[in-house]
Each structure stands twice: as C-alpha cells, then as structure tokens.
C-alpha cells in the first residue's frame, strides 16, 4: 500500500470511528466530546502514527514501555499536545521509564506496582493520570484486580501510597457479553467516587460509550490488522 493510500485510509477510519462514537454518545444522551479516542499503535510503525497525526489525532496508546520508547520520544518532541497512554501491563522495573514517557497509565493492578509508582513520584517523577485495571471476568491469564477487591485496592492506593486515581479500566472476556462487564465497571467507579472509565476496543466501543466510557482504545478499526514486529 502506498504512503498516500495509507494516510487516506487511516484518516477515513478515524473519521468513521469518531462518527460512530458520536452516534453512540447521542443515543446515550451524552456528548461525543466527553469520550476520548485513544488510537492504539501496538506493532504499527511511525508512518501510520504520523498519518493519524496529520488527520488531526494526538492521543495514542501503546502496550509495552520498550516499544513506546522506540517510537514516541521524537514524536512527542515534535507534537507538544500529543498524549501517550500505557494500556498494557507495567512491570515494576519499568516504572521509571514509564513515568518519563506516558501521560496516562491504564493498568495499575497490584500493590507492588502501586508502591513502585509512589516511590518514583516521591522522587519527583512526572505525574501521569492513573487508572486501576479491574479483571471483571476474573480470568486467570489476564491482569487486573478482582472486582470484589477493587474498592479496597483503590483505597490502599489513595491512603497508603498517596496516589491520585482517575478512573477504572477493563478488558471484557472475548466470549462474554461486554455490556455486563461495562456495567460492572461503571458500578465500581460510582462506588469509588470515580468519573473516568477506560473501556471499549474495536469490537465493542460503541457499547462501551453507551455505558459511560470516557476513553475507548481503538487499534484495528483505525490502523488495520497488527503486524507483529521484533522488539528493538
């Protein structure tokens, strides 16, 4: 695919996703502007990221700290309003690098990570927005706090580690109705006094918007299928 065709396709895909978000928001009596679209660039190269930027998009998501470090420092220097979201698991030994690069971390999911984040913040690190990841399906292979433990964990983050929690995040099981999980995340957020919800991906973001998502994480619907690349 030529560079121009790539750019045109990504611009059209972004416009389509934005229109679908607006329609879903209207159906839920919400404003489209209250839903942040995160373009997920896992395994996609700089050419596709720049095409999205040229189409007016500046919020991006990455799953791995190492991959983000290889792609985004120069882009962030060139585009001052670019925001970068970490949407994949964060290892405690990558916390310092993550805080230096990401503006939002969606995957705070365990006490050891809360402690590591708190320690770096006390040393003067940049303060990203933090979301607690909830494993709403209680899947053993998936990261996240169990729903029954979420409120206590949020309180622990706030009181014991002085972390400001902005919202909650979830990834519903592939074989279950996503609305059940989005409704559960919304309930937990209300109980915790949180107003932001990171939920919804390419296959279910319109449903997520109807259940109050403030951030949707869209990769395939914007950039096409992922092409796995060797880690730099």
Q: How far lies 149's CA from each of 93, 114, 176, 195, 196, in Å?
A: 24, 15, 21, 19, 19
As a whole number of angstroms, the distance between CA 129 and CA 163 comes to 10
Residue 114 has pLDDT above 60, yes or no: yes
CA 195 to CA 208: how far, in whole Å? 14
- Helix then strand then coil, in percent of the chain rounded to 5, is 50, 15, 35
> Residue 137: in which H helix or E strand, if any?
none
Is the pLDDT assigned to residue 232 strictly greater than 50? no
Predicted pLDDT at 37: 98
**How much is the pLDDT for 23?**
98
pLDDT, greater one: 3 or 193: 193
Distance (Å, rounded) from C-alpha 54 to C-alpha 102?
21
Q: What is the pLDDT of residues 6-49, one digit of tens each?
A: 899 999 999 999 999 999 999 999 999 999 999 999 999 999 99
Task: Give me the pLDDT at residue 111, please.
Answer: 97
Please give the model's pTM, rounded to 2 decimal places.
0.94
195 in Cβ contact with 36 (< 8 Å): no
Angle between helix 178-192 and helix 147-159 axes, rounded to 10 deg: 30
pLDDT per residue as tens digits for the range 116-130: 999 999 999 899 999
Average confidence (pLDDT) over 207-215: 98
Which of 87, 39, 36, 38 lies closest to 65, judged by CA? 87
- Per DSSP, 34 falls in state G
Contact partners, residue 102, CB within 8 Å, separation at least 6: 62, 65, 68, 84, 85, 86, 128
Kind plus residue range of the DSSP H or E element containing 188: helix 178-192
**Domains, the chain, with CATH or none:** 3-223 (3.20.20.10)
Pick the more confident residue, 205 or 232.
Answer: 205
Strand residue runs (E) in 110-164 = 129-133
Rounded-to-10 torsion of CA 204, 230, 7, 224:
-30
């Amino acid at each position: 695919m030529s560079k121009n065709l790539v750019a045109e396709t990504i611009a059209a895909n972004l416009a389509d996703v934005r229109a679908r978000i607006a329609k879903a928001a209207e159906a839920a009596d919400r404003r489209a502007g209250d839903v942040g679209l995160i373009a997920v660039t896992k395994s996609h190269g700089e050419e596709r990221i720049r095409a999205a930027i040229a189409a007016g998009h500046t919020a991006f998501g990455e799953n791995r700290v190492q991959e983000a470090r290889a792609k985004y420092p120069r882009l962030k220097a060139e585009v001052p309003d670019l925001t970068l979201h970490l949407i994949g698991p964060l290892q405690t030994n990558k916390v310092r690098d993550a805080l230096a690069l990401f503006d939002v971390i969606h995957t705070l999911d365990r006490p050891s990570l809360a402690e590591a984040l708190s320690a770096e913040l006390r040393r003067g690190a940049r303060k990203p927005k933090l979301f607690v990841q909830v494993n709403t399906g209680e899947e053993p292979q998936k990261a996240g706090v169990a729903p029954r433990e979420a409120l206590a964990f949020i309180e622990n983050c706030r009181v014991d580690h002085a972390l400001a929690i902005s919202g909650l995040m979830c990834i519903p099981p592939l074989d279950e109705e996503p609305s059940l999980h989005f409704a559960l995340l919304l309930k937990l957020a209300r109980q915790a006094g949180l107003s932001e919800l990171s939920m919804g991906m390419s296959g279910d973001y319109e449903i997520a918007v109807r259940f109050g998502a403030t951030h949707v994480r869209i990769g395939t619907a914007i950039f096409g299928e992922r092409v796995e690349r060797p880690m730099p």
